[in-house]
């Protein structure tokens, strides 16, 4: 296969996709091998989208429903595939967002509006004074030219020539202060707008959260509960056990649980950079926080049963490199409803205990409780055969909020600024994160993008000010939310990091982009960049 610049691609070209590749155009896939693509910058969904070659008869309009298309600008997380280019440049989905952005004009800032108003008023007053003086002079019989000269002199004196300089210097000082706080301001009047904002619409994935899956809680089969601190694909954090009678046995149980997650795993973390699936990266990071590095290297992998959407589980058959007993052992992870039926026993303080129906229900209830908090539940088991497994526990994984987000939202609320979350993610995840950061999530305050599509402008203007969480929203929905708030007299700040935020960032009174993980589209359209 030849390699050449992506800009030279034309519809009809065949493209090969591998792990780590950026998709160069919109591609209709005709061959996939466990292909998953991170579309979070496009759709706002944290979980990578699984791709296949099946026909999609009637997509529901959301990008996530087009399971046979790889979108331009997205990232291949796992597997590989081949496809034929169907659209490039401005004809691609990425391009359609860009076109929407070009069609929208950035609004004038409150300072620019008040300066325009002041200029208009001064002009009217100046012309009025000129006319009045000319009239008085004419009545008194004075020379017209002399009166005209006096009138113009008075008009010039009335214009505050120093005002633009004073305003510019004051704003420049504000920009310098913001720069010291790691905020790059691209336009001077933005500084003043920031002080006028009374509604902030924030994207979730990558803005409120880090867009890095993290294991936050684990429950072992013998009932020990631990919380994990830190976020991201690194070992910065601790495994904090809840109060228990046998801390040594609890540590051993946690070790056994995390060992399964780290061995039954195809991801790797190099210098805090993840290669592979985010969920598997979260399990590796959890093991590292427990002091378990390169656990997979202690075993020889003999066979792998890859994860599939039907099986909802992954298994590996291994033998130990260093033990004299070279017996084969299966490490299994996946959905608890698929793994528990294959378990005949469970681990209890180092001993294997037969699994009863009552205990099975208890484990299911534990998993359900964690899932209700918006976490993805991953269960673990191991054993000598796939039909005779020993259940070892569950891990709860989510994309947690950044530190200090809750405090920042509390300060904003106390200052009279409304905060609204606008995300492309599912309702459960959106509500769970909203509760964690202190947003109110009554049923009447949660609305989907599909509902917004059915509303007229008047209905939007009535509904949007009351809602705090918008989920499953498209770039067009985000734009309509910002426009509606502006129509109802609000000064709107928009924060975001993905391609899907670009249009709303441009239309908002102040667009704020994330510097470290934000896309170039966002940084280009935003008025301010947080670094």
Annotated active-site positions, please?
203
- Ramachandran angles phi, psi of 471, nearest 5°: -125, 165
Conformational region of residue 325, where left means phi above 0, alpha means psi within -120 to 50, and beta covers everything else: beta
| 492 within 8 A of 199, measured Cβ to Cβ | yes
Instruction: Give the integer Cα–Cα distance in Å for 178 and 527.
Output: 13
Instruction: Give the integer Cα–Cα distance in Å for 448 and 422.
Output: 10
Instruction: Give the integer Cα–Cα distance in Å for 241 and 244.
Output: 8
| 391 within 8 A of 270, measured Cβ to Cβ | no
Cα–Cα distances (Å) from 412 to 200, 418, 419, 438, 489, in that order, read: 9, 7, 8, 11, 19
Instruction: Give the integer Cα–Cα distance in Å for 237 and 406.
Output: 19
Q: Which of 446, 486, 487 is closest to 466 using CA atoms? A: 446
CB contact set of 184 (below 8 Å; sequence gap of 6+): 178, 515, 528, 529, 531
Positive or negative: CA dihedral 108, 109, 112, 113: positive
| 159 within 8 A of 181, measured Cβ to Cβ | no
Q: Which of 202, 198, 257 is closest to 226 using CA atoms? A: 257
How many residues are given for the chain?
A: 531
- Ramachandran angles phi, psi of 294, nearest 5°: 50, 45
Token pair for residue 322? 């260093």
């Amino acid at each position: 296969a030849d390699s050449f610049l992506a800009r030279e691609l034309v519809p009809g070209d065949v493209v090969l996709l591998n792990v780590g590749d950026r998709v160069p155009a919109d591609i209709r896939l005709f061959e996939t091998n466990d292909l998953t693509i991170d579309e979070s910058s496009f759709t706002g969904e944290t979980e990578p989208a699984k791709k296949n070659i099946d026909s999609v008869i009637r997509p529901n309009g959301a990008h996530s429903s087009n399971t046979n298309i790889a979108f331009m600008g997205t990232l291949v997380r796992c597997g590989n595939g081949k496809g034929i280019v169907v659209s490039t440049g401005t004809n691609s989905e990425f391009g359609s967002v860009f076109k929407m952005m070009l069609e929208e004009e950035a609004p004038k800032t409150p300072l620019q509006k008040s300066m325009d108003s002041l200029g208009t008023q001064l002009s009217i007053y100046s012309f009025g004074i000129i006319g009045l003086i000319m009239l008085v002079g004419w009545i008194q019989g004075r020379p017209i030219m002399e009166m005209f000269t006096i009138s113009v002199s008075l008009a010039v004196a009335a214009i505050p020539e120093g005002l633009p300089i004073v305003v510019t210097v004051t704003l420049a000082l504000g920009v310098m202060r913001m720069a010291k706080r790691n905020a790059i301001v691209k336009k001077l009047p933005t500084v003043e707008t920031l002080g006028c904002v009374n509604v902030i619409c924030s994207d979730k994935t990558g803005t409120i959260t880090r867009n890095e899956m993290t294991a936050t809680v684990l429950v072992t089969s013998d009932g020990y509960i631990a919380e994990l601190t830190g976020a991201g694909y690194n070992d910065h954090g601790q495994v904090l056990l809840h109060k228990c009678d046998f801390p040594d046995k609890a540590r051993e149980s946690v070790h056994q649980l995390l060992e399964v997650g780290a061995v039954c795993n195809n991801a790797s973390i190099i210098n805090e950079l993840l290669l592979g699936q985010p969920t598997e990266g979260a399990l590796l990071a959890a093991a590292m926080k427990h002091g378990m590095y390169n656990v997979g290297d202690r075993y020889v992998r003999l066979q792998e049963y890859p994860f599939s959407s039907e099986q909802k589980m992954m298994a590996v058959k291994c033998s130990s490199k260093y033990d004299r007993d070279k017996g084969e052992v299966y490490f299994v992870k996946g959905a608890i409803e698929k793994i528990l039926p294959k378990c005949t026993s469970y681990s209890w303080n180092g001993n294997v205990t037969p699994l009863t129906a009552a205990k099975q229900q208890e484990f299911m209830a534990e998993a359900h409780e964690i899932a209700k908090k918006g976490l993805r539940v991953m269960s673990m088991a191991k054993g000598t055969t796939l039909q005779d497994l020993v259940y070892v526990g569950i891990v709860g994984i989510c994309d947690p909020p950044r530190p200090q987000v809750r405090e920042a939202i509390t300060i904003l609320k106390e200052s009279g600024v409304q905060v609204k979350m606008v995300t492309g993610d599912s309702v459960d995840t959106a509500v769970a994160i909203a509760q964690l950061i202190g947003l109110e999530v009554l049923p009447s305050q949660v609305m989907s993008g599909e509902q917004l599509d059915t509303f007229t402008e008047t209905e939007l203007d009535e509904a949007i000010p009351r809602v705090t969480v918008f989920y499953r929203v498209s770039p067009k929905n985000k734009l309509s939310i910002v426009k509606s708030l502006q129509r109802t007299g609000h000064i709107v700040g928009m924060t975001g990091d993905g391609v899907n935020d670009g249009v709303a960032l441009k239309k908002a009174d102040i667009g704020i982009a994330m510097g470290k993980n934000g896309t170039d589209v966002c940084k280009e359209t935003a008025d301010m960049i947080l670094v």
